[in-house]
């Protein structure tokens, strides 16, 4: 009998999975490890923790990839309901850390808002699947109510970054389900108009005596610091100023791996988490950034390719929304680090250090893999 190689003995782990998507994610993980070694300044404990997180995310991805989309569809309401119940539990008796009530102890300490990043598109994709062929304007209103409830609960924790990500995940499903553009364009136009007003009158509205009734004071401070980081160079503006210096100093080719001065002289705060893109930019320069952008573009393109060929409305909406979540993570993080968006604590997908965020991303990739596998089974 012919002996099988060690690799072939474990080929069941990736059998039926989309190899193109897997290779793209693997490339991002390799970049993550290389950058993290530099960003963590060689701290072995952090490197071991990150390796553990990546292995956990990969394991979750493998498990989810083997769950038929039909099972995900049947469990969507339950997952959403459990997520809402946990968010209510957080509001009632959640744990407070650094002034925010975001965690709850259910035997282990968890952050329920992370669940909603997946539960929200699952729920709305399920809802529109049930309404397929008879979707009316009122259905978009019901979907909006399903979306507003968790977003409001997360925003009051307060957690602006996660609430925006959950809202984006739900809005993507609503838009992909056919929400009329005649309603979208005016909202986008109004948003652009408001941004222009903030830029033009930023000097006045950022005065201490001016109260922003919709946002918390710290959220106002973030936006005003974005408009002019020099107003708080040793506080909130420090993050933005130092990350912009790091990105600019990288030049075309970068300073070389482990040679980034901003990172190794401790000028970049949160350099292994939210601001790891600044470390990468300083050491690998514009060319490195183009490679990274190319990988994220390939990830998004592959996600849309899988979603567009999915056999049901549920899988098309779910896959498209998850793909756009990857885009939102990358866009917001890079914009935040580059000084184009407020600092809201959004990690760079598969690159930043983290446990919960990596598991959430692993679930997202697993769902895309499941959609791909299910499509192949249907076609065969």
- CA-based nearest residue to 254, from 84, 70, 38: 38
pLDDT attached to residue 118? 92
∠ CA 320-322-325 to the nearest 5 degrees? 115
The token pair that represents 319 in the structure block: 């896959």
Structure confidence by residue, pLDDT tens digits, 164-207: 889 999 999 999 998 888 888 888 898 888 878 877 877 777 77
Q: Nearest 5°: phi and psi at 92?
A: -85, -50
| pLDDT interval class at 160 (50, 70, 90) | confident
pLDDT attached to residue 271? 79
**Choice among 33-37, 86-90, 327-331, 355-359 with the minimum mean pLDDT:** 355-359
For residues 350 and 370, what is the distance between their CA atoms, to the nearest angstrom?
A: 19
Let me know: does 333 contact 352? Beta carbons within 8 Å.
yes
pTM: 0.87
- Judged against a pLDDT cut of 50, whether residue 1 lies above it is answered with no
Mean pLDDT along residues 29-36: 89
Per-position b or e across 248-278, b if 16+ CB within 10 A of its CB? ebbeeebbeeeebebbbeebbebbbbbbbbb
Mean pLDDT along residues 242-262: 85
Query: What's the sign of the alpha-carbon dihedral 359, 365, 371, 372?
Result: negative
- Judged against a pLDDT cut of 60, whether residue 329 lies above it is answered with yes
Mean pLDDT along residues 39-49: 70
| pLDDT interval class at 12 (50, 70, 90) | low
Mean pLDDT along residues 34-58: 79
| pLDDT interval class at 258 (50, 70, 90) | confident
Task: Return all residues near 209 (Cβ < 8 A) that are at least 6 apart.
Answer: none
**Choice among 176-190, 236-250, 366-380 with the minimum mean pLDDT:** 366-380
Q: Which has the higher per-residue pLDDT, 208 or 169?
A: 169
């Amino acid at each position: 009998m012919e002996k099988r190689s060690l690799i072939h003995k474990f080929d069941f782990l990736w059998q039926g999975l989309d190899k193109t998507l897997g290779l793209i994610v693997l490339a991002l993980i390799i970049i993550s490890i290389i950058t993290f070694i530099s960003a963590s300044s060689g701290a072995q404990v952090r490197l071991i923790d990150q390796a553990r997180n990546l292995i956990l995310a990969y394991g979750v991805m493998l498990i989810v990839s083997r769950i038929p989309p039909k099972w995900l569809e049947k469990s969507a309401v339950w997952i959403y309901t459990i997520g809402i119940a946990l968010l209510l539990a957080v509001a009632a008796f959640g744990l407070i850390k650094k002034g925010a009530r975001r965690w709850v102890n259910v035997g282990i300490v968890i952050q329920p808002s992370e669940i909603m990043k997946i539960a929200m598109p699952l729920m709305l994709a399920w809802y529109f699947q049930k309404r397929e062929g008879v979707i009316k304007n009122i259905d978009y209103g019901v979907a909006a109510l399903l979306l507003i409830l968790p977003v409001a609960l997360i925003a009051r924790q307060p957690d602006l970054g996660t609430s925006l990500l959950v809202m984006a995940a739900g809005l993507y499903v609503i838009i992909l389900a056919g929400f009329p553009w005649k309603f979208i364009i005016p909202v986008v136009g109004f948003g652009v108009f408001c941004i222009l007003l903030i830029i033009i009158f930023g000097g006045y509205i950022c005065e201490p005596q001016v109260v922003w009734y919709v946002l918390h004071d710290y959220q106002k401070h973030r936006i005003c610091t974005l408009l002019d980081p020099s107003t708080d160079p040793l506080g909130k503006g420090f993050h933005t100023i130092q990350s912009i210096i790091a990105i600019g100093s990288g030049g075309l080719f970068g300073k070389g791996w482990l040679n980034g001065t901003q990172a190794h002289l401790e000028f970049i705060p949160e350099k292994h988490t939210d601001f790891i893109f600044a470390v990468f930019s300083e050491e690998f320069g514009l060319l490195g950034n183009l490679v990274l952008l190319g990988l994220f573009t390939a990830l998004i393109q592959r996600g849309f390719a899988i979603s567009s060929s999915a056999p049901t409305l549920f899988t098309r909406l779910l896959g498209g929304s998850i793909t756009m979540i990857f885009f939102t993570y990358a866009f917001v993080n890079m914009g935040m680090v580059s000084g184009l968006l407020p600092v809201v604590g959004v990690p760079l997908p598969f690159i930043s250090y983290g446990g919960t965020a990596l598991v959430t991303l692993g679930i997202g990739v697993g769902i895309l893999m499941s959609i791909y596998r299910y499509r192949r089974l249907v076609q065969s």
